[in-house]
Amino acid sequence: MTLEDLRGRRIHIESYGCTYNHADTRRLEAILERLDCTLTGPDEADTVIVNTCTVIGATERKMLRRLAAFADRDLYVTGCMPLVQMELIRSVCTPHVIHPAEIHERSRGVGTPGPGAVGVVQVASGCVGRCSYCITRLARGQLESTPPEAILDAVRDLVASGAYEIQLTGQDVAAWGLDRNETLPDLLKEIAEIPGRFAVRLGMMHPASVLGILGPLVDAYENEKVFRFLHLPVQSGSDAVLERMQRGYRAADIVRIVDACRERYPDMMVSSDFITGFPGETDEEFCRTLELLERAAFVKVNITRYSRRLGTPAAALKDLPERIRKDRSRVLLVEANRIYDRYNECWIGRETPVVATEKNAPGSTVCRNPCYLNVVVEEDLPFGFSGSAVITENRRHYVIGKLIPHGTGHRV
């Protein structure tokens, strides 16, 4: 079966996982529209497509439940799961497969519009890592960087269509260009030369890849067209655990990266990911993670309890009891929230530039400041509106801002 076989159908699509995966869904939607398909709800559809994610066990189980729910329908699957777990999928259903490569081959360009004034550009697929626990690298394979010309064209198109926030996404954005003898900071310089009013939000960057471009990357954040935001997935603060994870760096390297950013940009938002209860993790090793979290003062931390992924090297290791994984996750979350509150409270009473990018609730607008702070303004603003706001309240996962009525606000 090919995408051409879907011509003229009424199709329901469900999409899960990372920004990259959702961007693939937007590509797929555009292809289907050219095939005269109608996108609709599940009850009205004669065909269902599920774009899957299988990064952790809980997600895998959710995917299997959703696939089982559509087992009696004309069902198609795409995303990471059919690339590495087709037998598991067949245990609950017998779907057709849409390979992500086919979506990319039939797409026009690498940029896709997101919600509101957001655009997404897929700069690379795959990675150069060898993490012992990761199933995504098995699904996505080796690094394949998008040519810079295609990325620049995508940014131009998205800016011309009204996007202010341009999200660069991939499994490891910092690795972009390693397979082309090019570097991410050089790409950012070219992007920043594109006319228009916009800012780039860099996606997840593996610390080992960041170390190779640290100085030029820190310099790149100087440009007003780059949000001062760094998503640096650390996973553990213990060198012994990091070695078992085969992450390719040490805790001291993380401190060096964060210090290099914060010394230049004290308000810079640095977020991270952690895995609790990796096989063999001792109480002392977990304490090293807590220490690194506090030392680096990560804002917005994603915490995952370790789950075995079949086919990965770590799957051969003995799991810790679920109780320990869960308890450590809770302890880490309490500390992470405390740091999040501390960061937000530093903004209270301060004036900051903001740009309206999304809407989550009637009568309010989601804005971003230069450090990518999530500022909710309790007014109905048009996308692209820019002005200044005073931060008045901390709501942990966002702050409340009050517009300053200087008459300087305008639309992009």
- 337-357 pLDDT per residue, tens: 999 999 999 999 999 999 999
Q: Which two tokens stand for residue 199?
A: 């800012």
pLDDT, the chain, mean: 95
- Mark whether 174 and 72 lie in a shared domain: no
Q: What CATH number did the domain enclosing 73 receive?
A: 3.40.50.12160
Q: Decide if pLDDT at 407 tops 60.
A: no
Burial class (CB in 10 A: 0-12, 13-18, 19+), 16: buried
- Mark whether 242 and 128 lie in a shared domain: yes
Contact 134, 171 (CB under 8 A): no
Q: Which two tokens stand for residue 344?
A: 């937000």
- Mark whether 97 and 9 lie in a shared domain: yes
Contact 16, 59 (CB under 8 A): yes
pLDDT of residue 2: 77
- Mark whether 391 and 333 lie in a shared domain: no
Q: Decide if pLDDT at 264 tops 50.
A: yes
- The CA distances from residue 26 to 30, 108, 159, in Å, are 6, 11, 17
The β-bridge relationship of strands 374-377 and 365-368 is antiparallel
Q: In which residue are the tokens 């030369």 written? A: 193
Helical pair 184-192 and 148-160, crossing angle rounded to 10 deg: 40
Contact 145, 178 (CB under 8 A): yes
Q: Decide if pLDDT at 272 tops 60.
A: yes
Distance between CA atoms of residues 363 and 354, nearest Å: 17
- Mark whether 25 and 91 lie in a shared domain: yes
Distance between CA atoms of residues 54 and 295, nearest Å: 31
Helix, strand, coil shares of the chain, percent, nearest 5, are 35, 25, 40
| CB neighbours of residue 386 within 10 Å | 17
Tell me which of 105-109, 181-185, 359-363 is least confident.
105-109
- The CA distances from residue 194 to 156, 173, 190, in Å, are 7, 20, 7
- Mark whether 189 and 336 lie in a shared domain: yes
- Mark whether 252 and 159 lie in a shared domain: yes
- The number of domains in the chain is 3
Q: Decide if pLDDT at 389 tops 90.
A: yes
Contact 294, 324 (CB under 8 A): no
- Mark whether 241 and 360 lie in a shared domain: no
End position of a domain, from candidates 52, 83, 103: 103
Q: What CATH number did the domain enclosing 387 receive?
A: 2.40.50.140
- pLDDT tens for residues 287-302? 999 999 999 999 999 9
Q: What CATH number did the domain enclosing 129 receive?
A: 3.80.30.20
Distance between CA atoms of residues 164 and 166, nearest Å: 6
- Mark whether 99 and 119 lie in a shared domain: no
278 CA to centre of own chain: 22
Q: In which residue are the tokens 């996973």 written? A: 235
Distance between CA atoms of residues 207 and 249, nearest Å: 7
Q: Decide if pLDDT at 74 tops 50.
A: yes
- Mark whether 276 and 391 lie in a shared domain: no
For the chain, the C-alpha Rg in angstroms (whole number) is: 22
Range of the domain at 120: 110-345
- Mark whether 60 and 12 lie in a shared domain: yes
pLDDT of residue 110: 84
End position of a domain, from candidates 103, 131, 155: 103
Point out which residues pair with 205 in neighbouring strands: none
The pTM of the full predicted model, rounded to 2 decimals, is 0.93
- Mark whether 94 and 168 lie in a shared domain: no
End position of a domain, from candidates 68, 103, 138: 103
Q: Decide if pLDDT at 1 tops 90.
A: no
pLDDT of residue 406: 67
